């Protein structure tokens, strides 16, 4: 099982480079922070697609809720995201990025991302790039 960030989810859903890597990693299931889910849905809204329609379609197809479990952003994730701020700020990571990292640390799972800058992080966490 792996934790996806919004960039990995979007690569998978939009069949971008890296989609097959995400698909391969999802054979054992995936987890996605509700913060990253909001990021992905916001992307679709910004590009003229209804977030409600996207969510309904992905749930009906079993992508969200079955293949990829949505994990709530818990108070402990908030603390971890805050603690990660000084480490990730020089690399320009966002709150959404830190929410993903916090979830991966809480669940003790590898994380998938399309953001190559994450390679520069020195964390006790396995980071897998999808492209």
Q: How many domains does the chain have?
A: 1
What pLDDT digit, counting tens, does each position of 66-123 carry? 999 999 999 999 999 999 999 999 999 999 999 999 999 999 999 999 999 999 999 9
Helix residue ranges per DSSP H, the chain: 6-13, 19-25, 34-46, 51-60, 75-88, 95-107
Task: Give me the percent of the chain exceeding a pLDDT of 90.
Answer: 100
pTM over cut 0.75: yes
* CATH number for 31: 3.40.50.1010
d(CA 9, CA 113): 8
Domain interval for residue 92? 2-129
């Amino acid at each position: 099982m792996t934790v996806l960030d919004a960039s990995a989810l979007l690569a998978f859903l939009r069949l971008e480079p890296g989609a097959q890597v995400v698909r391969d990693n999802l054979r054992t299931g995936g987890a996605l922070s509700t913060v990253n889910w909001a990021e992905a849905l916001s992307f679709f809204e910004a590009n003229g697609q209804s977030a409600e329609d996207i969510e309904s379609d992905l749930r009906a197809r079993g992508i969200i809720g079955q293949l990829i479990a949505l994990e709530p952003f818990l108070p402990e994730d908030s603390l971890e995201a805050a603690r990660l701020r000084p480490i990730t700020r020089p690399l320009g990571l966002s709150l959404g990025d830190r929410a993903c990292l916090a979830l991966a640390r809480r669940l003790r799972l590898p994380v998938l991302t399309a953001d190559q800058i994450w390679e520069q992080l020195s964390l006790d966490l396995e980071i897998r790039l999808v492209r």
